[in-house]
Amino acid sequence: MSVFLKRVLEEPSYGWSRDGEFYRPTHREIMAHWFSRMNIFASRKNWLPFTDWVWTLALLPFTVLFFTKYFSWPLLLVGFLYAMLFLGTTNIVWLHRYCTHRAFTFTHPIYRFVLRNLPLRLVPEETYVLSHHVHHAYTEQAGDPYNAHGGRLYCFLAGELHQPIARDLSRKDYKRAVAMLNHTGVNANTYAQYKKWGSICHPAYLYLHFSLNWLFWYGAFYLMGGHALACAIFGMSALWAIGIRDFNYDAHGCGKDKRDWADFNREDLSINQLFAGTVSGEWHNNHHMFPNGARSGFLWWQLDTAWWLIRLTKLLGGIASYRDYKARFLAETYEPYLRAKAEAEAKASSASPRQP
């Protein structure tokens, strides 16, 4: 699988590495490659990288309307909480824990449909899932699509620069790539369609799906609070759509070792961030320790809203099984840490000179 993951993504124009080492491109190289990826007139195969920004920028008119016509502090708070808490949590559950890592299974496809469409759709499964598998296989190495060593811009524009599927996969490799998305409900292209569009998903299906999702939720929010509420929620969702692009850079210490006592995974630079963990349940260092777990908040203070949503769905009969590594983490990692800490403190205390 690791050899396949090495070639499943399109290599950027500046390459993943040079002389056997990860290559950090200049800002000029990054922007030149980004503009080439965004040029849908040069190739229709650029449609998916271009689409990533279409839906993000489509939120901005709602942002302008909210601040110029419907602004109020309570609605600003509602929109902010929706963007940070609700979008953060539901997308972690759907895109991260289910689509990528299959941390749980559904009892019926209807529950999958509901969870898939519960948030405002902004990120195609194809853009997220394949690249995230590569990220875990080559964390902070050449080939990692959002390698923190590449810098903030390298990560911020990764959706267009490094995450698209390779356009020259063999029929066999394309079938393997499709298999990584079969459980998500994505309607996959045939191999001939893939050669035409350069993607697994078809533009017509994706745009129809996202459009219907937006129409449904705008209508629902309008019925609950009129255009003011709908514009507040849609407009503030731009915060999440843009902010999520920065997540992996920050969650890997900005390419530096920022791990502290609560970051027990020492295989990479991932860290547990208080804000991201609290609003979405994404305790990233814990996640890299147990990637396919349905829970990443292991300590009492690590709130895990994504885990709560998974547990609620199971309570409602929607989830058949899940993987939970909390007990293993406590037994194999945290409790030995506490014992070692207590022994070190006792040894230091006994070694210190006694006061007269």
Q: Is the pLDDT of residue 121 over 90?
A: yes
The per-residue pLDDT of the chain, averaged, comes to 96
Residue 284 pLDDT greater than 90, yes or no: yes
Q: What is the mean pLDDT of residues 133-139?
A: 96
Q: Quote the distance between the C-alpha of residue 171 and its chain's center.
A: 28
Round to whole Å and give the CA distance between 252 and 140: 9
- CA distances for 197 relative to 47, 133, 166, angstroms: 8, 22, 11
User: Quick one: pLDDT at residue 4?
Assistant: 94
Cβ atoms 148, 76 nearer than 8 A? no
pLDDT for the residue numbered 143: 96
CA distance 92 to 313: 14
In whole angstroms, what is the distance from residue 289 CA to residue 263 CA?
10
HSE of 169 in the Cβ direction (CA atoms, 13 Å)? 30
Handedness of CA 220, 230, 309, 148 (dihedral sign): positive
Nearest by Cα to 37 from 158, 121, 208: 158
For residue 356, pLDDT beyond 60: no
Rounded CA-CA distance 315/331 in Å is 27
Instruction: Give the model's pLDDT for residue 347.
Output: 86
Q: Which has the minimum average pLDDT: 23-27, 98-102, 342-346?
A: 342-346
* 206 and 197 Cβ atoms separated by less than 8 Å: no
Give the pLDDT confidence of 24-36 residue by residue, as tens digits.
999 999 999 999 9
pLDDT of residue 349: 79
- The yes-or-no verdict on residue 203 having pLDDT over 70 is yes
Q: Check whether 354 has a pLDDT greater than 60.
A: no
Residue-wise pLDDT tens digits, 228-241: 999 999 999 999 99
pLDDT at 2: 73
| CA nearest neighbour of 258 among 246, 278, 272 | 272
pLDDT of 1 higher than 80: no
pLDDT on residue 351: 73
The whole-number average pLDDT for the span 285-291 is: 97
The predicted-structure confidence for 242-261, as pLDDT tens digits, reads as follows 999 999 999 999 999 999 99
| Residue 353: per-residue pLDDT | 62
Q: Is the pLDDT of residue 218 over 80?
A: yes
Greater confidence (344 vs 176) lies with 176
322 falls in which pLDDT band (50, 70, 90)? very high
pLDDT > 90: percent of the chain: 95
Residue 348's pLDDT is 83
